[in-house]
Structure 1
Amino acid sequence: MSPEEVARIVGPLRKAQERLSGSPDADAAEALLPAVNVSFFILGSGHAHNFENYRAGFRSGMLPVLGAFPSREAFNTWLEAYAGPPPRGTVEVGGEHYTLGYSRRRGQPLLLRLPSVADLRRPGNAQEQGRLWLALDQARDVLSASPEDVDALHSAALALHFVQEADCAREFANFLAHFDKPRPPLCSFTTRAEADTWLKNHPSPPHGARVQVGEDELTVGYWPQSDLRVLVRFPKDEEPDEDLTPGT
């Protein structure tokens, strides 16, 4: 998921907010805020790669099918063969469909259940989030039936499912509560050497995450195809530009 993709999802939702704010359903505009902001959360959470696969898995045929397992225990036995991130694809476990993910922060694989088309905008905890899902229905009513608008609504709904499946609901709630404030860094280190060691040993560094090194804030860069890993220090406004400094 890139910033451009986030813009394509958020644009129609903000358009719906504008239209709803001047209607008898004005409360729905505020209720849409989690749907508007969930893509920003995923982009900055280190889960963008997992959500890309999750969205591809929802769209049948876009990911390889890795196998079908009668139970979670049988799936776990199969998964034990992979020491690092699991392969990209979908699995069936006990009749339910999932995509495989990987938590870069925890260094653990994830099994992410895919909703059915019928359940896309009706999650299991619909009673707790009824106002939000009703607002998505109202947004659909005020938007056009263009492929762009429909895809934005589907992607936002799928992102809300993803946050629950990836066990990020508490983090997302905190993100919404502090949306207009700077987010804390992922990790803090006393020295650059400590940060470089962490970067070198991490099985899949969270691309785009921020880490604190002393008084400096660095951004993680990771390209899995080449295994290139860097910690980038962006200069402050009053400082001249500096070169990117790769990690060891």
Structure 2
Amino acid sequence: MTIFDRIMEAQELLGKNREHAQSPEEKELFLLAIDALWFVWRNGQTYEFERYRKDVESEAPPRVIASFSTRDEAEVWVKARPQSPDLALVLIADEYHVVLSSRDEQRRALVPDMAIAYHIEQMTRNGLPPVVATFNTRDEADVWFRSQSEPPPQTVIQIGSERYLAAFYQNLQHRALFPFSVVERLHQIRRRREQKEAGE
């Protein structure tokens, strides 16, 4: 069954459920879901949607739509787009950022985001996942990672004494290494928030 067939099937199911909705609000939510699928189809994003679903099913790191070496490159890209990819995630020097814009799109910003920290935290909730490969240096790990023609969406490796997530973004053909220690930053933010709330 093609992605087009599956979208049609999903819309039919949503339509049937909409008919039996208990309230106007529920009916509107079903219509919203149907329209979202039509939006994907009519804007030529059906295959991109299919790739997105494969990423979700593989439990890959949060999807990004672009990757940049520097913040300047990213800002030029955001300003040059006729429509802002609002709330989309991008990588800048292999750090997650979210694209934000005002409703009139006159103001656009790239804000650091903790998406990868949440992802690694979820991965380690029931204990540390097994390490696939171990390296003494980051350079050794980079050589190993680049040598793979089509790596899996994510692999856990160890460099020295620290675990890293080796992430492959197939939609961009981009590779990135994220230290598991990013989760500690997330814990620090939570602790500061709790202390602030306790002091109020």
Relative to the length of structure 2, the TM-score reads 0.47
Relative contact order, higher structure (CA 8 A, sep 6+)? 1
Relative to the length of structure 1, the TM-score reads 0.39
